[in-house]
């Protein structure tokens, strides 16, 4: 029994508890596809928990298995997903220690999405039951739909542009924690050309020599601005150290006061 990463690196020794659990499967040769995850106390998978495990912290992983690619030397890649799923259900019990089948949601897409949003999941993957398994490429038969959170944040600075980007590189944003503006991350995606130009002009009118963040983030090539602009930001989740994961700019909120953007009122 061996575990391999997406790049075919052997990671069996990195997750011995998963390897032991998989050895208890029925006899026979199988190739399974899945994802190693770690759950928080609410039962929600968190990417940063696996990062903490890699740094030596005690984190208990699980293996979410979602496909069966081969059994007893017979490839199943061209078989429809529904058939591969039935095969998987004869091999893997619903849950057994650190090993589990990936859960299925109602076939109605909107219902499934709302369930994922309500439970705080990162997203869902919609799959065509008739689709084959297409290794190494993106398939239109499998669609990833992320459940991104949205909130308002105060702009406290911007970085210099790089590459083909004009005007600025990324926004530095934060939330007020009492009287102090707390830095929560950099936002470098989601801007149209028009938004880049407009936002750049507005921020340059607010330039200041001192960082509005307390403490100031350690970032190079930053222009600080007075904390008077509020941005609507979409993001995947909060990291364990209070930073935004995968943030994207949605627009300015001229109807919001910076004082309304507070750390205490944020949604976890």
State both tokens at 45: 């998978």
**Structure confidence at residue 166 (pLDDT):** 92
- Residue intervals of the chain classified under CATH 3.30.470.30 are 12-104
Q: What angle is formed at CA 150 by the lines to CA 165 and CA 108, rounded to 5 degrees?
A: 110
Residue-by-residue pLDDT tens, the chain, 268 positions:
899 988 788 999 999 999 988 887 877 899 999 999 888 888 888 776 776 777 577 888 989 899 999 999 999 999 999 999 999 988 887 776 677 777 778 888 889 888 888 888 878 899 999 999 999 887 889 988 877 788 999 999 999 998 889 999 999 999 999 999 999 999 999 998 888 999 999 999 999 999 999 999 998 899 999 999 999 998 988 999 999 999 999 888 888 899 999 999 887 7
**Structure confidence at residue 53 (pLDDT):** 77
**Structure confidence at residue 267 (pLDDT):** 76
Longest Cα–Cα distance in the chain: 69
State both tokens at 265: 């009122």
CATH 2.40.50.140 corresponds to the domain 149-260? yes
Question: Which SS3 state, helix, strand or coil, does residue 194 take?
Answer: helix
- Residue intervals of the chain classified under CATH 2.40.50.140 are 149-260
**Structure confidence at residue 179 (pLDDT):** 96
Between CA 60 and CA 86 the distance in angstroms is: 28
Query: Before 215, cis peptide (omega within 30)?
Result: yes
Between CA 171 and CA 199 the distance in angstroms is: 10
State both tokens at 241: 């150290």
The answer to whether 197 and 211 have CB atoms below 8 angstroms apart is no
CB atoms within 10 A of CB 107: 9
**Structure confidence at residue 97 (pLDDT):** 61
12-104 belongs to which homologous superfamily? DNA ligase/mRNA capping enzyme (3.30.470.30)
**Structure confidence at residue 59 (pLDDT):** 85
């Amino acid at each position: 029994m061996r575990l391999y990463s997406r790049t075919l690196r052997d990671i069996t020794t990195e997750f011995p508890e998963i390897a032991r659990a998989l050895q208890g499967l029925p006899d026979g040769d199988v190739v399974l596809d899945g994802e190693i995850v770690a759950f928080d106390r609410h039962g929600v998978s968190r990417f940063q928990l696996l990062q903490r495990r890699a740094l030596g912290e005690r984190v208990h992983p699980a293996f979410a298995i979602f496909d069966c690619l081969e059994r007893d030397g017979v490839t199943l890649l061209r078989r429809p997903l529904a058939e591969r799923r039935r095969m998987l259900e004869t091999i893997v019990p619903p849950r057994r220690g650190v090993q589990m089948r990936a859960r299925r949601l109602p076939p109605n897409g909107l219902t499934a999405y709302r369930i994922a949003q309500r439970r705080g999941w990162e997203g869902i993957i919609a799959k065509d039951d008739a689709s084959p398994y297409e290794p190494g490429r993106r398939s239109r038969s499998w669609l990833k739909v992320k459940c991104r959170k949205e909130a308002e944040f105060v702009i406290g600075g911007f970085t210099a542009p790089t590459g083909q980007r004009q005007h600025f590189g990324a926004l530095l944003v934060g939330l007020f924690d009492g009287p102090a503006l707390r830095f929560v991350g950099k936002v470098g995606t989601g801007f149209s050309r028009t938004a880049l130009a407009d936002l750049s002009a507005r921020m340059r009118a607010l330039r200041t020599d001192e960082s509005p963040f307390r403490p100031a983030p350690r970032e190079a090539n930053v222009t600080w601005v007075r904390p008077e602009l509020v941005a609507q930001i979409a993001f995947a989740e909060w990291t364990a150290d209070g930073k935004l994961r995968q943030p994207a700019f949605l627009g300015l909120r001229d109807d919001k006061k910076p004082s309304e953007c507070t750390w205490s009122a944020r949604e976890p």
